[in-house]
Amino acid sequence: MQQPIRKADKYLRGKPDPKMTQAKFDKLKADLARMKKMQPPLAAEVKRLALMGDFSENAAYQIAKGSLRGLNQRMLDVEDQLINAEIILPNKNNSAVSLGNLVTVEVSGKQKTFQILGSTETDPLRGIISASSPIGAALLGKKIGETARVKLASKNTEYKIVGIS
C-alpha cells in the first residue's frame, strides 16, 4: 500500500503569535461568528448525504464530511487564538521602539516607515513587519538617532531611526 504524501508545513505548524491589535482580534471574532453560522447547514448536508447509501462510494458525502472537518478545525484554531490573544495597546511613550510603534528609518539614503506588530498581522508591502523578523527585532528598544544593524542575505544593512510614533 502506498503511503500518502503530506505537505510538511501543514502538520508541523507551530502556534500563531498571540500578539495582535484590537482590530485583528475583532476580525477573528467576526470570522468565528460567521463560521459558527455555517456549521449547522453543513452538518445537515453531511447527515442528508449519509442517507444516500454506502459511505465508501459516496463521493458527495466524503467531500461534505471533509468540508465540515476543515470548518471545525478552523473554528478550533480561531478560538485558540482568541483565548491566547495579547492585545497590543498603543504606546504613549515614544522614547524607544516597542511593539505597535510606527518607526521611520533611514536606509541607503531613503526614508521608510514600518509598523511593528505580531507575526499574524505582517504585511511587508504596507510596511507592517513582525517583531520577530530580523528588522523588527533589531529595531525594538532603539531610540531616535540610534542605528540598528541587520544582516540580510549576504550584506549588512544599517537602519538609522529618524522618528517613533
Strand ranges across the sheet with 147-152: 128-130, 110-117, 102-107, 155-164, 147-152
- With a cut of 70, say whether residue 96 has pLDDT above it: yes
Position 19 confidence tier, pLDDT thresholds 50, 70, 90: very high
Domain ranges, ordered by start, for the chain: 16-87, 102-164
16-87 and 102-164: identical CATH topology? no
Residue 5 half-sphere exposure, CB side, CA atoms within 13 Å? 0
pTM of the prediction?
A: 0.80
Which one is the CATH code of 16-87: 1.20.120.450, 2.60.40.1660, 1.10.287.180, 3.40.50.970?
1.10.287.180
Each residue of 32-86: pLDDT tens digit? 999 999 999 999 999 999 888 777 788 899 999 999 999 999 999 999 999 999 9
Q: What's the CATH class of domain 102-164? A: alpha beta
